[in-house]
Amino acid sequence: MKRTHHCNALRPADAGKNVTLMGWVDTKRDLGGVTFIDLRDREGVTQVVFRPDSKVQETAQRLKSESVIEIAGLVTVRSPDTVNPKLATGQVEVVATSLVVHNACADLPFPMEDDKADKVNEDLRLEYRFLDLRRPRNLGLLKLRHKAARAIRAELDDQGFIEVETPTLFKSTPEGAREFLVPSRLQPGQFYALSQSPQQYKQMLMVAGVERYYQMARCYRDEDLRADRQPEFTQVDLEMSFIDREDMYALIEGILKRAWKEAIGVDIPTPFPRMSYREAMDRFGIDKPDTRFGMEIQDFTALFAGSAFKVFREAATTSGSVVRAINAKGLADLTQGELTNLENIAKAAGARGLAYIKCEGGEWKSPIVKFFSEEEKAALRQKLDIADGDIVFFAAAPWEQASTILGRVRLESAALLRAKGRLAIPADRYDFLWVIEFPLMLWDEEEKRYLSAHHPFTAPVPEDEPLLATDPAKVRGQHYDIVLNGVELGGGSIRIHDTAVQKRVFEDVLKIPADVVASRFGYMLKAFSYGAPPHGGIALGFDRVVAMLAGRSSIRDILAFPKTQSGQDLMAQSPGVATAKQLRDLRIRVVDEEPKAKG
């Protein structure tokens, strides 16, 4: 049993050769006398002919789709009127002289033709993932993922990086994402946590002198799932010593450029634009702006400081509050349901309501326009470029909240406009963007203390370091996020490598008790006192990178065996129950859910 060719290989030049092909029955066309089989393997399709004079035609007539067969036969050039131009091998066919059925396929649970299969319920396809993946379109996604990984590894290798594997059995780090706990049998009552990131280990590798580390790191987070979030996912995780932010930008731009080129043949221009967090929030109302379309936020705080409209006047004259607006061009004819939905989105972001002006038939239709002076209307019209068919949305709130409200409304409005065919974004448009100068700390109203905006190892911008003691909220971190078309591909930072600064951040700014710092991060502080080089790193969400390359919105599509939104693998049926012995060994008792308190 030896295959001579893949199913995409044969051409007229191969005529006269005796070949052996193996693969799956793609389709069968039984004409009573002659029978045709399209034989498919991972590379392509070849037509095989079974003639009545062959001993195997009767077997061929009984073949079922997706059975695995081996055929041997003679490569023959097709007559001109029977050439199939849709097939790479369409000028030839193999006239079969032998046929072996290696595995007959049962009745299929869903059609395998790409266009039909794509519409089949995802849960059924996930249960039969081995079949769904067999479709050329989906095998192509696995190949694409492979190409992207290969390009990234090649670039990192060229740049002097060493791939090092770090443990995924780590310990709990409670201030991060919820973790998967793993009970320790040898240390009863104690638990590992599956690593949510190799963060601390990779910093130790820098202290160890590795200088340039990377890893295609499997990470785990026990949070609710989304189209772009799985409980286990892969990060291109890397760390470098003796660098600054500019080195990191150049490196990542090189990696992504190479991945785009080698995976999908697209040249992306570098360097990428950069935008401060402040500017991103001001203009787009989000820290990962989609800059493929405008609809930018405009400020009218000064304009409404003396307005007759009390809601706007009060916001405009309150310190820290703003009055801002966006113009959703061409969306004035939205339905009542769509408007209500936008209102709900605004309310979820903290708005009390969603003030708007519809401009239709040369008229401004709005519950609030009667309060506006001519001067205010003129300023709005001019700055927002208001024309017939537009609808303007307002937010009057503290700066960050107003930004978030309009940022959400902007994205939803764009989605509506795209659905109505009034906003066209080319599928091959890639707007990469660095978002930089994030605040290092955020004040947590519930806990009445500062929390790290990203993680506590991020170094402050040098000129802001004195503010750590006086006004931590004003300190900008040396953090950077890489954003593509409104999707956060990854983020990282230059780290603190000084024991004293790290200790101050932990204890004085974040107010983590000294004993907790010692037990959780003691080894890091210890390491930093033994020759820690200045260093920084980043982690790219590899699944998201591949999804963007593939033009897919769900990372389930580009994972071989993804989990559903409730965290289950429908094919393997995980998770499952543990045996009594396993639980005994781990000293774990499963208790019934406590009845919900009735209120």
Partner RNA sequence: GGGGUGGUAGCUCAGUUGGUUAGAGCGCCUGCCUGUCACGUAGGAGGUCGCGGGUUCGAGUCCCGUCCAUCCCGCCA
Positive or negative torsion for Cα 206, 209, 212, 213 = negative
Q: Which of 71, 453, 517, 549 is close enough to bind RNA by CB under 7 A?
A: 453
Per-residue mark of binding to RNA, 58-97 (x: CB under 7 A): ------xx------------x--xxxx-xx--x--x----
> Among 12, 58, 114, 123, which residue interacts with RNA (rule: CB under 7 A)?
123
Binder among 58, 175, 363, 388 for RNA (CB under 7 A): 175
Q: Which of 11, 55, 102, 116 binds RNA (CB under 7 A)?
A: 116
Distance (Å, rounded) from C-alpha 210 to C-alpha 229?
A: 31
Residue 413 as a binder of RNA (CB under 7 A): the answer is: no
Q: In the complex with RNA, which residue's Cβ is closer, 157 or 224?
A: 224
How far, in Å, CA of 195 to CA of 567, rounded?
Answer: 17
Cβ 229 to RNA shortest distance, Å: 6
Tokens of 311: 């809601």
221 is an interface residue for RNA by CB under 7 A: yes
Element (H, E) at 250: helix 245-264
What are the backbone dihedrals phi and psi of residue 549, each rounded to the nearest 5 degrees, phi first?
-60, -35
Of positions 6, 14, 110, 353, contacts RNA by CB under 7 A = 110
CA gap 460, 475 in Å, rounded? 7
Give me the 177-196 binding string for RNA, x by CB under 7 A, dash otherwise. Answer: xx-----------------x
Instruction: Provide the token pair at 289.
Output: 């702006």
Indicate whether 137 belongs to the interface with RNA (CB under 7 A): no
Helix, strand or coil, per DSSP, at residue 203: helix
- In the bound complex, what is the minimum distance in angstroms from residue 498's beta carbon to RNA? 19
CA atoms within 13 A on the CB side of 441: 25
Tokens 């008792």 label which residue?
A: 589
Single out the residue of 17, 377, 449, 454 in contact with RNA (rule: CB under 7 A).
Answer: 454
Candidates 133, 172, 564, 583; binder of RNA (CB under 7 A) is 564
C-beta of residue 324 within 8 angstroms of C-beta of residue 395 = yes
Measured from the CB of residue 344, what is the shortest distance to RNA in angstroms?
7
Which of the residues 197 through 216 are near RNA (CB under 7 A)?
Answer: 197, 199
Helix axes of 542-550 and 136-158: crossing angle, nearest 10 degrees: 130
Q: 523: which 2 tokens?
A: 């080894």
Residue 577 per-residue DSSP state: P
CA distance 492 to 581: 43
Binding mask 16-55 for RNA (x = CB under 7 A): -----------x-xxxxxx-x-x--------x-x-xxx--
Rounded Cα distance, 309 and 369, in Å: 9
Nearer to RNA, 384 or 472 (CB): 472
Please report how the helices 336-348 and 399-419 are oriented relative to each other, as an axis angle in degrees rounded to 10: 150
| Gyration radius from the chain CA atoms | 30
Contact yes or no for 289/411 (Cβ under 8 A): no
Round to whole Å and give the CA distance between 207 and 184.
Answer: 29
Out of 554, 561, 583, 586, name the contact with RNA by CB under 7 A.
554
Number of residues that bind RNA (CB under 7 A): 70
Indicate the residue among 52 and 551 with the shorter CB distance to RNA: 52
Pick the closer one to RNA by CB: 47 or 327: 47
Question: Where do contacts with RNA occur on this chain (CB under 7 A)?
Answer: 27, 29-34, 36, 38, 47, 49, 51-53, 64-65, 78, 81-84, 86-87, 90, 93, 107-111, 116, 119-124, 126, 173, 175-178, 196-197, 199, 221, 223-229, 344, 348, 451-456, 553-554, 556, 564-566, 568, 570
